[in-house]
Structure 1
Amino acid sequence: MTSIDNHILSFSEGVSIPQAPPEFKSGFIGIIGRPNVGKSTLMNQLVGQKIAITSPVAQTTRNRLRGIVTTPDAQLIFVDTPGIHKPHHQLGEVLVRNATIAIDSVDVVLFVVDGTVACGAGDRFIADLLINSKTPVIAGINKIDQQPANPQNINESYQQMADAHQWPTVKFSAMTGAELPQLQTLLIENLDHGPFYYPPDLVTDQPERFIMGELIREQILLLTREEVPHSVAIAIDKVEETPAITRVMATIHVERDSQKGILIGKGGSMLKAIGSAAREQIQKLISGKVYLELFVKVQPKWRHSRVRLAELGYRVEE
Structure 2
Amino acid sequence: VKFLPALQAVGYGTVPPQHADASAHKCPGLPHAPGECDLSSMTLETPPSDANVPTRTGYVTLLGRPNAGKSTLMNRLIGQKLSIVTAKAQTTWQRITGIHTKGHIQAIFLDTPGLLLAKDLFQHSMLEEALDAVREGDVIVLLVDATDPLHESEKKAIVEALSLSTAHLLVVINKIDEAEPDEIARISGWASSELHCEARGISALHGPGVAALWSEITEALPEGPFLYPPDDIAAAPVRFFVAEFIRETVFEQFREEVPYSVFAAVDEFREDQDPVYIKANLFVERNSQKGILVGDKGAAIRELGRSSRAKIEEFIGRRVYLELRVKLRPKWRRREKDLGRFGFRVPVGKSGNDGN
Aligned residue number for residue 258 of structure 1: 288
- Inter-partner Cα distance in structure 2 for 1:58 and 1:316: 22
1:163 corresponds in structure 2 to 192
Select 2:84's aligned residue among 53, 57, 77.
53
Structure 2 match to 1:11:
none
Is 1:232 the counterpart of 2:256? The answer is no
Q: What CA distance in whole angstroms lies between the structure 1 residues aligned with 2:306 and 2:214? A: 36
Question: What is the match of residue 305 of structure 2?
Answer: 275
Aligned counterparts of 1:36 and 1:88: Cα–Cα separation in 2: 19
Check whether the contact 2:72–2:205 (CA below 8 A) recurs between aligned residues: yes
Which range moved further: 266-275 or 157-166?
Answer: 157-166
Flag the 1:240–1:226 CA change in 2: closer, same or farther, 3 A: same
User: Do the aligned partners of 1:245 and 1:289 also contact (CA within 8 Å) in 2?
Assistant: yes
What's the TM-score once normalised by structure 2's chain length?
A: 0.80
- Whichever residue aligns with residue 115 of structure 2, its letter is I
User: Which residue in the other structure is 1:29 paired with?
Assistant: 60
Aligned counterparts, 1:1-318, within 5 A: 22-121=53-152, 122-147=154-179, 151-164=180-193, 165-242=195-272, 244-316=274-346
**Relative to 1, partners in 2 of residues 1:119 and 1:315: Cα closer, same or farther, differing over 3 Å?**
closer
Structure 1 stretches of 5 or more lacking a match?
3-17
TM-score, structure 1 length as denominator? 0.89
Secondary structure of the corresponding residue to residue 261 of structure 1: helix
> Is the Cα contact below 8 Å between 1:254 and 1:300 reproduced in 2?
yes
Q: 1:243 to 1:294 in 2, by over 3 A?
A: closer
Moved over 4 A (4+): 18-21
- Separation of aligned partners in 2, 1:312 and 1:19: 43
Count of residue pairs brought into register by the alignment: 300
Q: Identify if the C-alpha distance between structure 1 residues 154 and 217 changes in structure 2 by more than 3 Å, giving closer, same or farther.
A: same
Aligned equivalents of 1:55 and 1:182: distance in 2?
26
SS at match of 1:229: helix
One-letter amino acid of the structure 2 residue matched with residue 128 of structure 1 = E
Gaps of 5+ in 2: 1-27, 30-48, 349-356
Could you tell me which amino acid in structure 2 is paired with residue 152 of structure 1? P
Closer, same or farther: CA 79–21 of 1 in aligned 2, 3 Å: farther
Is residue 240–residue 247 contact of structure 1 (8 Å, CA) maintained in 2? yes
Offset from partner CA, 1:201-244 (integer Å, 9 cap, x none)? 11111100000000000000111021403111111000112463
Contact 1:113 1:141 in 2 (8 A): yes
For the aligned residue pairs, the C-alpha RMSD in angstroms reads 2.0
Determine which structure has greater relative contact order: mean sequence separation of CA pairs < 8 Å that are 6+ residues apart, divided by chain length. 1
Task: Summarize deviations over 1:88-142 as a string: whole Å, max 9, x none.
Answer: 3211111101111211111011000101133433244213321353222111111
3-state SS, counterpart of residue 83 of structure 2? coil
Q: Would the aligned equivalents of 1:139 and 1:170 in 2 still touch at CA under 8 Å?
A: yes
Contact kept in structure 2, 1:41 and 1:52, CA below 8 Å: yes
Q: Within 2, Cα distance between the matches of 1:20 and 1:219?
A: 45
User: For residue 159 of structure 1, what is the amino acid of its counterpart?
Assistant: S
Letter in 1 for 2:122: L
The one-letter amino acid of 2:329's match is Q
Question: 1:248 is paired with a residue of what secondary structure?
Answer: strand
d(CA) in 2 for partners of 1:88, 1:223: 27
- Label 1:152 to 1:158 Cα distance change in 2 as closer, same or farther (>3 A): same
Conservation of the 8 A alpha-carbon contact between 2:270 and 2:278: yes
**Partner Cα distance (1:19, 1:89) in 2:** 50
Check the 8 A contact 1:55/1:221 in 2, yes or no.
Answer: yes
1:154 aligned partner, one-letter code: E
1:10 corresponding residue in structure 2: none
